[in-house]
Amino acid sequence: MSDTALREQICLLAKSMFDRGLTGGSTGNISARTGDGGLLVSPTGTSFGRLDPARLSHFDPAGRLIGGDPPTKEMPLHTAFYETRSTAGAVVHLHSCHSVALSMMPDADPDNFLPPLTPYAIMKLGKVQLLPFFMPGDPAMGDAVRGLAGKRSAVMLANHGPVVAGKDIEAACTAIEELEDTARLAMMTRGLHPRALTPAQVSQIVTRFDVEWDD
């Protein structure tokens, strides 16, 4: 994909998520690998609903900013995923409401944040690691992701929002939407004792769809 087409796709997908209320105001950030190994990144203080393809932050393969506006302050999150997951072609971070709400529940499982309610989050995300609260922009968030040694494609920042890496921009956006949908189901059914997938069913999904799933 050409850089021009990638710029347009980043902005189109970001606006779609903004229009559907998956992140609001100037929250959230998004990045994708360019064909030469550089990065296109949403600038700091920008809205997903109004990203300008020409003003995306542009980094060369050595990590130098060579064009566009200054990048999001959450760059440590993005670079940590690119450095630890060789398959990462894009990273998306949202402030989606239901996933943030679920992260605040006292019984949230740090090692496997999403309950197994449907097969789709398992297929697209594997296990989601719940990380503790960090101040926005704190480089320690990147250190926490590096500490996972590339074993997770998605993390949930407590009281903040999800971060997902995918093989390309479309895959990353699809996966983070699935994360939010599953969190919404979890909050909607909370206290109602829903019938979750059994461990045997989860195991079947992991095997059938070759899911990364560290025990």
82 is catalytic: no
Q: What is the DSSP-derived secondary structure letter of residue 191?
A: T
Catalytic residue among 8, 82, 83, 120: 120
Question: Parallel, antiparallel, or unpaired: how do β-strands 154-157 and 129-131 relate?
Answer: parallel
Residue 95: Cβ within 10 Å count: 19
Asked whether the beta carbons of 130 and 103 are under 8 A apart, the reply is: yes
Question: Parallel, antiparallel, or unpaired: how do β-strands 90-93 and 29-33 relate?
Answer: antiparallel
Asked whether the beta carbons of 178 and 125 are under 8 A apart, the reply is: yes
Catalytic residue among 74, 177, 178, 180: 74
CA–CA distance, 42 with 142 (Å, rounded to integer): 17
Asked whether the beta carbons of 57 and 42 are under 8 A apart, the reply is: yes
170 is catalytic: no
Which positions are catalytic? 74, 120
